[in-house]
Homo-oligomer: A and B are copies of this chain.
């Protein structure tokens, strides 16, 4: 049995082809990569790492792991209104991915990166591949561009603004429970739809940049709606109120809640949705909804910003709910 490729062989075979279109990547043969500046644009940079057993399941297909690692970062760029163009990649490979099994794994991993590079219009710029005695870990730093001074941050929400959410809520968190085998009673198509949403986030790249000038604050929902909205509220120095009855739910999540009402809490505080959560002045409601239609992305008004009061969730009767956890905490 062959020993497989060494580090440089792996770079040449699996990663260099992903950097071909970007001259600044220097064919991945150099110490660093070059990013061109453009008049009137700022570079937006974000970094997110994923570890097996924490952010994906150890037996998840390598192409899906690659795409998830890219997409959670692309989602952060979209949430600033930025258009992605490149990324650097750190792969820490465990012992069982040395030699030929590792080469086979990397081939599928690189195929996943290639798919999403094409879908989202970005290129590999550089990276580092190391060995670890621990589990597989993937760290991506992604780059986008935004018109100077126009990035949408979390800090701009004002009292009276409306709170909007793209797509639907809870699919990612319930998808994880499906894959862990702790969510029963769903039809197979529903279970599969949820698992797919957990494995493969859909960053809202068409919507995010279009919200520049309309959204007063924005972020992506990665740690859970309530906790994430609390971040916007805190950074903006305001409070917020959302109504459970207004939350956009997919048929699968709706069915899961029908089966067990307590699941609504997972929907409110679970992570991994990667939808855009944003605020906009109430006078711009029509513009927001028209834009969503143009972008082909469902957008739902789910609440309102107040001058103070933290984040309140109102139940079907309009009463404040008490939640066990204000979002997923990593520690």
Contacts and interface: CB of A to CB of B under 8 A. Distances in A.
Interface of A: 4-8, 10, 24, 26, 29-39, 41-51, 53-55, 76-77, 79-80, 82, 88-90, 92, 94, 98, 102, 125-135, 137, 139, 141, 143-144, 146, 148, 151, 153-155, 219-220, 231, 235, 329-331
Contacts of A128: 47-49, 139
Contact of A231 (B10, B29, B55, B146): B29
B42 A329 contact: no
Contacts of A137: 92, 132, 134, 137
Contacts of A133: 51, 53-54, 134-135
Nearest to A38: B37
A330 B7 contact: yes
A277 B35 CA distance: 24
A123 B24 CA distance: 23
Chain copies in complex: 2
Nearest to A127: B47
7 contacts: A4-B331, A10-B331, A30-B235, A31-B79, A35-B45, A37-B38, A102-B331
4 interchain residue pairs of minimum CB distance: A134-B134, A37-B37, A32-B46, A35-B43
A253 to B, nearest CB: 24
B43 A154 contact: no
A90 B89 CA distance: 12
B31 A42 contact: no
A7 B143 CA distance: 24
Given A7-B329, A31-B79, 4 more contacts: A30-B153, A46-B126, A49-B128, A98-B331
Contacts of A43: 34-35, 37, 43
A47 B135 contact: no
Contacts of A92: 49, 51, 137
B47 A90 contact: yes
Given A30-B154, A38-B37, A77-B32, A125 B45 contact: yes
A42 B51 contact: no
A277 to B, nearest CB: 11
